[in-house]
Amino acid sequence: MAKRNLAVMLVVFVMSSSMVGCFGSDGLDILPEKKGVPGGLTLACLRSSMYTSMVIEIDHEPGYRPFSSSVDLLIERLESVCDKPSGISVEYDEVDFGHEGTWSAQDVRDKGWEQKDTSPRDGTTLYWQILFPAGTYDSDSVLGVAVDASTVALFSDSIDEADGPFGRPSVEDVENSVLVHEVGHLLGLVNLVYESPVDHEDPDHPGHSSNDDSVMYWAIESADVGNFIFGSLPSDFDDDDRADLAGLADGSIPIRDQLWS
């Protein structure tokens, strides 16, 4: 009972904290739909015991298809941490979400589930979904959001405005990093469904890395990303992120709130 209460308290904390840029704060419905929390399908990705393949479903409105470099980079990052012997593939769907005005987390969740081609867990295949809708989030400084265990959205209209003053980082660079960042939350980073043995979570931005060389750094999901005008915008997990994922995969780091079994 104590563990159950702790898990409930964690969900409440995560959804009410300052992480609004990455996590939907309105109406997360874990039951009865079993949509779960970001990180709820972490083991389903990291291990191959139940799901041997993975499909990334990209639903985009006309004119909002992501850069091919962003998708290629995402697959490369997932292949480096997830055990999927039958491969990780991508399916594109051009859709009209039929949504007016700004987007809330519940809007993303509802429209995402309306458009899903299949259940996130179908046979031996794991499906994660990425939305690229027209328009902006409730806060237009938010570039991306993870709303449940299998669904994220990137707001290209806001990303287009987040490039640096001298074209560094470029819009493409920003999209590259934000995409990996949001899917990193589906992997449970940082401390969303576990407690890392290493202190690398930013105390002022829970669920994010304190290392500005990590793609999980807190500024990656916000318009502040345009401040990275010197050096390269981080687009990869750092050593601490990868150590966490390895520990979750081999069971040395306890995990909670999983939907995979």
**Does a structural domain hold residue 55?**
yes
Cα-based angle 254, 81, 149 (whole degrees, multiple of 5): 60
User: Is 213 a member of any domain?
Assistant: yes
Q: What are the distances in angstroms from CA 155 to CA 111, 137, 159? A: 14, 7, 6
Within a domain: 70 = yes
225 has a pLDDT exceeding 70: no
- Domain with residue 161: its CATH number is 3.40.390.10
pLDDT of amino acid 20: 43
Mean pLDDT over 235-256 rounds to 98
DSSP assignment of 24-48 equals: --S----TTT----TTTTHHHHH--
pLDDT of residue 162: 79
Question: Number of structural domains, the chain?
Answer: 1
Enclosing domain of residue 242: 20-249
Closest CA to 186 of 39, 52, 4: 39
Q: Is residue 180 a part of any domain in this protein?
A: yes
- Count helices and strands in the chain by DSSP H and E runs: 7, 6
**Residue 166 pLDDT class (50, 70, 90 cuts):** low
Amino acid occupying residue 142: V
Residue 259 domain flag = no
Cα angle 244, 246, 252; round to 5? 80
171 Rama class: left (phi>0) / alpha (psi -120 to 50) / beta: alpha
Residue 236 pLDDT grade (very low, low, confident, very high; cuts 50, 70, 90)? very high
End-to-end CA distance of the chain: 20
Position with higher pLDDT, 46 vs 12: 46
Q: How far apart are CA 118 and CA 99, in angstroms?
A: 21
- pLDDT tens across 22-81, in order? 655 444 444 444 899 999 999 999 999 999 999 999 999 999 999 999 999 999 999 999
**How high is the pLDDT of residue 229?**
43
Crossing angle for the helix pair 68-81 and 171-186, nearest 10 degrees?
A: 30
Is 4 inside any structural domain?
Answer: no
